[in-house]
Amino acid sequence: MKLLDLQSQYAARSTDYEAALLRVARSGQFLDGSEGAALESQLEAYLGRATHAICCASGSDALVLALKASGVGAGDEVIVPAFTFAATAEAVVHVGARPVFADVEMDGLVSRATLEPCLSGSTKAVVMVSLFGQIPALETIGPWLESLGIVWIEDGAQSFGARRNGRLSTTFGLATTSFFPGKPLGAWGKGGAVFSANAEMALRLRALRNHGQVERGLHEEVGWNSRLDEMQAAILQIKLEEFPKELQERRQRAQLYCQALPDGVKLLRQNPENESSWSQLPVRVPHRDAVREHLRRQDIPTGIHYAIPLHHQPAFAAWRPEQALPVSELLAAEILSLPLHPWLSSEDVQKVCVELGRG
């Protein structure tokens, strides 16, 4: 059993993947070629809503580019959730701003109630993470922040393909995603994208990812070296073709888990407004480490996302809040990620749930 099965994903279309890599190799064009442009067009068609897709070298870079394009810099405060991956807060520090850590609700998402205590006169932006495939209430939080003159960004690294009230993640406003190999839509290396419905913002993002060049040799501002390479773009085109089918398969297996989880093991709260992309299958387990060891002995792989919330990470000690963030700390102590991918059998799901009950 595998936590993630990229080998089976490769085998399903191995001929196409190999042809794509050979096509790029023969072209001799490894950056700024037709593959990247084709992928961006494909992403825009998938998302609709006149969304511009600007691909870049990683999901982390996508966050930096979005913050820079929004004018965030030295002296600004940016609110981020405490319960998420470090990249969200790292991007804030990399543009010279100060991260302010907000607690989350029991679904792992920020809300207006968790954000309000973090606001100050220096708040420039809020980065809201769509965690484990679920999307915060962007349709209400976003306009509220805009009324206060605060920029907001959706970090959709874990939610590409998810929907909230029928609307796709990364289409609510300025947003980012990651093509890290472990994501539901993952490359064979690093990759990411920024999404915006604003044409002027899209032009600036395209310049920022390429050293601030609006045309070759003309640098209007200090930019970033963050272009997606052509081989990753070629692979992602094939993966995006398969993505709707694979997403449905993930949802079907998540539903099997929902029906079979034993007493005492709680699925992280799922919101009826959301149709998750299930980037992970997160459950809350008391005595998690002992349960995880029991599963390991049964050859069942698991993951922990995330054992240490950001406000307790040594890297962010300078910005540690005085107040406790109790929900982030509770989730960090209990969350366990179970195997989930399109090639996971129903028998595997049953085995995981049976052994969870025994652990």
What confidence tens digit (pLDDT) does each residue in 187-236 have? Answer: 999 999 999 999 999 999 999 999 999 889 999 999 999 999 999 999 99
With cut-offs at 50, 70 and 90, classify the pLDDT of residue 315.
very high
Phi, psi of 154, deg, nearest 5:
-90, 120
What pLDDT was estimated at residue 313?
98
Query: How high is the pLDDT of residue 29?
Result: 95
Q: What is the mean pLDDT of residues 42-54?
A: 96
Both structure tokens of 247: 């997403």
Q: Please tell me the distance from the alpha carbon of residue 232 to that of residue 289, in angstroms, as a whole number.
A: 36
Q: Sorting pLDDT into bands at 50, 70 and 90, what band is 49?
A: confident
Those residues with Cβ within 8 angstroms of residue 291's Cβ, 6 or more apart along the chain or in another chain: 285, 336, 356, 359
In this prediction, residue 121 has a pLDDT band, given cuts at 50, 70 and 90, of: very high
Q: Say if residue 153's pLDDT is above 90.
A: yes
The torsion region of residue 28 among left (phi > 0), alpha (psi -120 to 50) and beta comes to left
Beta bridge partners of 128: 154
Q: What is the pTM of this model?
A: 0.96
Which pLDDT does position 214 carry in this prediction?
86
Beta bridge pairs of residue 77: 98, 123
Among 116, 120, 129, which residue's Cα sits nearest to residue 156? Answer: 129
In this prediction, residue 342 carries a pLDDT of: 97
Percent of the chain with pLDDT over 70: 100
Place 61 in a pLDDT band, splitting at 50, 70 and 90: very high
State how far the Cα of 76 lies from the Cα of 197, in Å rounded to an integer.
25
In this prediction, residue 359 carries a pLDDT of: 80
Residue 207: what pLDDT? 97
Q: What mean pLDDT do residues 251-261 have? A: 97
| pLDDT of the residue at 215 | 86
Which residue shows structure tokens 């102590």?
A: 333
Structure tokens given for 217: 């040799």
Lay out the sheet containing 77-81: strands in order across. Answer: 52-56, 192-196, 175-178, 151-155, 123-129, 77-81, 98-102
